[in-house]
Amino acid sequence: MRGVCGVRAKAPWLLPSLLRQMGTMVQLKDMGLFKSQGLIGDKWTDAEDGRTLPVNNPATGEILTSVPFMSGQDTKRAIAAASHAFPSWSMRTASDRSKLLRNWFNLLIENKDDLAKLMVLEQGKPLAEAAGEIVYGASFVEFYAEEGKRIYGDIIPSPFAEKRMLVMKHPIGVVGAVTPWNFPLAMITRKVAPALAAGCTVVVKPSELTPLTALAAAELALQAGIPPGVVNIVMGDAVQIGNALLDSTEVRKITFTGSTAVGKVLMTGAGKTVKKVSLELGGNAPCIIFDDADLDIAVKGALAGKYRNTGQTCVCINRIFVQDGIYDKFAEAFSKAVSELRVGNGLEQGITQGPLINEAALDKVERHVQDAVSKGAKVLLGGKRHSLGRTFYEPTVLGNATDQMLIFKEEVFGPVAPLVRFTTDEEAIKMANDSEFGLAAYAFTENIARGWRVAESLEYGMVGINEGLISTEVAPFGGTKQSGLGREGSKYGIDEYLEVKYVCLGNMKQPVT
Ligand code: SIN
């Protein structure tokens, strides 16, 4: 947790400080989207004990505002509100829910500029990338507004003459959604939209580092006509909030995006009340550049897959394996492309790389680079803190990386690309699969048969061939091994919020009269 808890002053620090971050005048068209309280039922609310937590701008360290530092008690109130709203929400028709989700989608898009600005201020990503996330996040709402109408049951051909068998699907109940700071909107909508479409109600705990986008999105959900209590937002004491969600018998499902360590704690805790769990956890994505790759496509793909969100996504490329025959050409062209990235405050024109989320993240990046260099890696570009200071790190390319380096094993979650040389396909696949994680993997080759074979051999939940950006609302997002359980997005994502009920009708032998 960052910052010091305080007690809320009479009026929250409102927009003046927010509007002048980094000397840049930031105007929201709709000031009503700037919320700094939690949402429980129909009430914007402080923590019961009045404690607060500052929200910082990662680019400057300046305090934007404070939000409630909520406890287990506050979370219980939110669960009660979600439980109260569940019967009527789940009883609505799918098309009714669909209309409200569609309204929410429209409002998210209409307010894209404001939401993107809020996101840059609290998360740091460049404005264009933040606007892209609003569209990406909203796409889940649009998709599930439609997909909710397609929750079909089944009629099972009965092996018994006198019995008929069918399957119905029901919303699972109240959902606890715990979401990260790297995608302050999309990781919420990817969970909340299918949950709501299925008829569930939710208690969302956004990251304490990025609550403002979540609160603005919740305000828009209310404006869209989604009834109070269907979406509740709490933030603050992560342990207490997590325990309240895990201990509650009313919460029937936990969905989480974040670290593998926290995912394991939630999975264990969910056992107490046997909840359904979906987990989208850490990755260690390999990217294999074969000799026969199209150099331009490989450079563009690896650049996008590595430096999106300043390297802070779970699907970001973490290790780049480059075959002997193309190694030198790729290293040169890739380093040149990386050198053209522009680092700075995400609100400034033309910036493509924002800050890291906090100084601890920067320390980790620095540790990884120092470890790699001490074990023989060659700095081809960057390799140090950026002159902007604090949370900024230079986009970095390391040559001669090996499997002995920390960066080979752990997600760096920053703008560092290590290049590992290889000779045979088998060697590359073996190194790529040498990880306890299995989220995303990438390969670049012009040979379709090789690409197909590689896609089959990679032990990952998602594979991009000749493509570094694979995320979309229509495809299943999720991992294998210690990268998680379940899938988000696509037609598969809604199953995570449904119970399957089998119904058997007996004594059906009576003749038709
Ligand atoms: C993540 O980093 O967890 C999500 C990335 C994405 O949706 O592409």
* Least confident stretch, 11-20, 386-395, 458-467: 11-20
CA 296 to chain centre: 29
Tell me the best of 134, 136, 140, 187 to mutate to test the pocket of ligand 1, counting ligand atoms within 8 Å of each CB and taking the most: 187
Listed in sequence order, the residues at least 6 apart from 66 whose beta carbon sits closer than 8 Å to its beta carbon are: 6, 8, 12, 13, 36, 52, 53, 54, 55
Place of tokens 């129909």: 42
144-166 pLDDT, tens digit each? 999 999 999 999 999 999 999 99
425-457 pLDDT, tens digit each? 999 999 999 999 999 999 999 999 999 999 999
Q: In the numeric block, which tokens belong to residue 418?
A: 């290590």
For residue 190, give the ligand 1 atom closest to its CA.
7
The catalytically annotated residue of 122, 219, 280, 488 is 280
Residue type, 330: F
- pLDDT bucket at 27, cuts 50 / 70 / 90: confident
CA 18 to chain centre: 25
103-119 pLDDT, tens digit each? 999 999 999 999 999 99
- Gap between the Cα atoms of 210 and 355, Å rounded: 14
Nearest to 354 by CA among 320, 307, 422: 307
Sequence-ordered strand ranges (E) for 262-375: 276-280, 285-289, 317-323
312-324 pLDDT, tens digit each? 999 999 999 999 9
Listed in sequence order, the residues at least 6 apart from 11 whose beta carbon sits closer than 8 Å to its beta carbon are: none
Side-chain-facing half-sphere of 244: CA atoms under 13 Å: 24
In this prediction, residue 509 carries a pLDDT of 81
In this prediction, residue 4 carries a pLDDT of 42
51-85 pLDDT, tens digit each? 999 999 999 999 999 999 999 999 999 999 999 99
pLDDT of 21 above 90: no
In this prediction, residue 26 carries a pLDDT of 75
Q: Is the CB of 314 under 6 A from ligand 1?
A: yes
- pLDDT bucket at 182, cuts 50 / 70 / 90: very high
Nearest to 211 by CA among 483, 2, 477, 10: 2
- pLDDT bucket at 13, cuts 50 / 70 / 90: very low
Place of tokens 């009479």: 10
Give the Å distance between the CA of 344 and the centre of ligand 1.
Answer: 22
Place of tokens 């002048």: 20
pLDDT of 194 above 70: yes
255-302 pLDDT, tens digit each? 999 999 999 999 999 999 999 999 999 999 999 999 999 999 999 999
Side-chain-facing half-sphere of 469: CA atoms under 13 Å: 12
The DSSP-derived string for 27-84 is: --S-GGG---SEEETTEEE--TT-EEEEEE-TTT--EEEEEE-B-HHHHHHHHHHHHH
Listed in sequence order, the residues at least 6 apart from 400 whose beta carbon sits closer than 8 Å to its beta carbon are: 376, 377, 378, 419, 421
Tell me the best of 129, 133, 134, 183 to mutate to test the pocket of ligand 1, counting ligand atoms within 8 Å of each CB and taking the most: 183
Q: Is the CB of 183 under 6 A from ligand 1?
A: yes
- Gap between the Cα atoms of 259 and 253, Å rounded: 18
Give the closest residue (by CA) to ligand 1 atom 6.
471
Q: Mean pLDDT over all residues of the chain?
A: 95
In this prediction, residue 510 carries a pLDDT of 73
Q: Which helix (H) or strand (E) holds 304?
A: helix 295-307
CB 143 within 8 A of CB 468: no
Q: Quick check: helix, strand or coil at residue 437?
A: strand
Between the two ends of the chain, the Cα-to-Cα distance in Å is 71
Single pTM value for the model: 0.95
Give the Å distance between the CA of 438 and the centre of ligand 1.
Answer: 14
pLDDT of 207 above 50: yes
Q: Is the CB of 471 under 6 A from ligand 1?
A: yes
- Gap between the Cα atoms of 156 and 479, Å rounded: 31
- Beta-bridged to residue 255, according to DSSP, are 177, 278
Q: What ranges in 395-447 are assigned the alpha helix state H?
A: 406-409, 425-433
- Beta-bridged to residue 52, according to DSSP, are 6, 68
Interhelix angle 94-110/211-223, nearest 10 degrees: 130
Give the closest residue (by CA) to ligand 1 atom 3.
314
Give the closest residue (by CA) to ligand 1 atom 8.
471
Q: Quick check: is 488 catalytic?
A: no
Region 470-492: mean pLDDT is 98
Give the Å distance between the CA of 123 and the centre of ligand 1.
Answer: 14
- pLDDT bucket at 2, cuts 50 / 70 / 90: very low
CB 66 within 8 A of CB 12: yes
- Beta-bridged to residue 343, according to DSSP, are 353
In this prediction, residue 10 carries a pLDDT of 36
| Share above pLDDT 70 across residues of the chain, in percent, rounded to a whole number | 95
Q: Quick check: helix, strand or coil at residue 462?
A: strand
In this prediction, residue 129 carries a pLDDT of 98
